[in-house]
Amino acid sequence: MRLRLRHDPHSLAGAYALDALGGPAEQDRFARHLSRCPSCEAEVRGFREVATAMAFAVTAEAPAALRPQVLAAAARTRQLPPEVSSHARPQRTRSTLPWIPWLSGAVALASIAVAVFFGLAQSHTQDELNQARAENQALNVVLSAPHVQVLSQVATSGGTAVVVLAAERHALAVVTTGLPALPSGKVYQLWLIGTKKTESAGLLPPAQDGQTPAVLATGVVKGDTLGLTVEPAPGSAQPTTKPIVALPLPV
């Protein structure tokens, strides 16, 4: 009797977690399977922890010269910006959602979820779909958190920013409604204004029907304030105008 296991992608979870799949094509195929299979994902996560223990078990002393080299290289290496809901992606028509400033928390959550869903439903190419999925997963970090706080503030320019904050995950999602349209060459930029420094949290995507799709910001730490400013395109390294929203984050 021969058992045919070839078509059960699940059985590859172990090899995948050990980076032992054949090549990029097989890896991609399994990664796609993972994105549809939460139990496989949980299994891979557990296997990766086993692998981590195996790495710690072969701890070795690295050459001392490495430390100053790495630290110096880091000092001159730019970090990736926090993940945002890709403002570069061409916006497609989204379903009209009634987006009103006095949203309750549950409604805000549901609206973000619906916006994410439509992002998925209206992605046409595989690339777009992958990207939308990645964003969806990123937003899930916030939406699936056991404790979230919904905060909002009316912008000094008019319009409202609504924030769903998952404090213990150091992440938040932002949507806005009714912000004034900007002249060309200007963008709305989000900031995490910390006690020591201010970091860009990405640009607001163009509004559809007066509402901007959800943007995710990670790396939120205690003492941060979420800021929104108008900046010259394609955004600034540091804010150059007075924030129209400055919302202290209870982290």
Partner 1 sequence: MNPSDSDASRLESATADRRGERDLDDLLVHVARGDSDAFEAVYDRLVGPVYGVIRRVLRDPSQSEEVTQEVLLEVWRTATRFDPAVGGAATWVMTIAHRRAIDRVRSITASAGREQRTAEVHTPHDEVAEAVEASLDRERVRRCLDGLTEVQRESITLAYYGGYTYRQVADRLKVTLGAIKTRIRDGLIRMRDCLGVS
- Min CB(244)–partner 1 separation in Å: 23
| Close Cβ partners of 248 (under 8 Å, ≥ 6 residues apart) | 225
CA distances in angstroms from 43 to 11, 40, 114, listed in the order given:
11, 5, 29
- Pick the closer one to partner 1 by CB: 132 or 143: 143
By CB under 8 A, residue 62 contacts partner 1: yes
The only residue of 109, 113, 145, 167 in contact with partner 1, by rule CB under 8 A: 145
The rounded distance, in Å, linking the Cα atoms of 100 and 152 is 11
- Pick the closer one to partner 1 by CB: 106 or 237: 237
The only residue of 21, 34, 37, 182 in contact with partner 1, by rule CB under 8 A: 21
CA distances in angstroms from 40 to 12, 119, 224, listed in the order given:
10, 25, 36
CA distances in angstroms from 84 to 163, 204, 215, 240, listed in the order given:
14, 9, 5, 21
The only residue of 39, 79, 93, 104 in contact with partner 1, by rule CB under 8 A: 79
The rounded distance, in Å, linking the Cα atoms of 249 and 40 is 35
By CB under 8 A, residue 88 contacts partner 1: no
Residue carrying structure tokens 């050990």: 18
- Min CB(181)–partner 1 separation in Å: 30
The only residue of 36, 70, 121, 234 in contact with partner 1, by rule CB under 8 A: 70
Of residues 183-242, which lie at the interface with partner 1 (CB under 8 A)? 192, 194, 197, 199, 218-219, 221
- The residue range among 31-39, 91-99, 136-144, 173-181 that interacts with partner 1, by the rule CB under 8 A, is 136-144
- Min CB(231)–partner 1 separation in Å: 19
Of residues 1-20, which lie at the interface with partner 1 (CB under 8 A)? 3-6, 11-15, 17-20
| Close Cβ partners of 168 (under 8 Å, ≥ 6 residues apart) | 145, 146, 147
Q: Where are the alpha helices (DSSP H) in 159-249?
A: none
Query: CA quadruple 30, 35, 37, 43: dihedral positive or negative?
Result: positive
Could you give the 3-state DSSP secondary structure of residue 147?
coil
By CB under 8 A, residue 46 contacts partner 1: yes
Binding track over 89-128 against partner 1, x by CB under 8 A: ----------------------------------------
The rounded distance, in Å, linking the Cα atoms of 142 and 165 is 7
Q: Which residues bind partner 1 (CB under 8 A)?
A: 3-6, 11-15, 17-22, 45-63, 66-67, 69-71, 73-75, 77-83, 138, 141, 144-145, 169-171, 192, 194, 197, 199, 218-219, 221
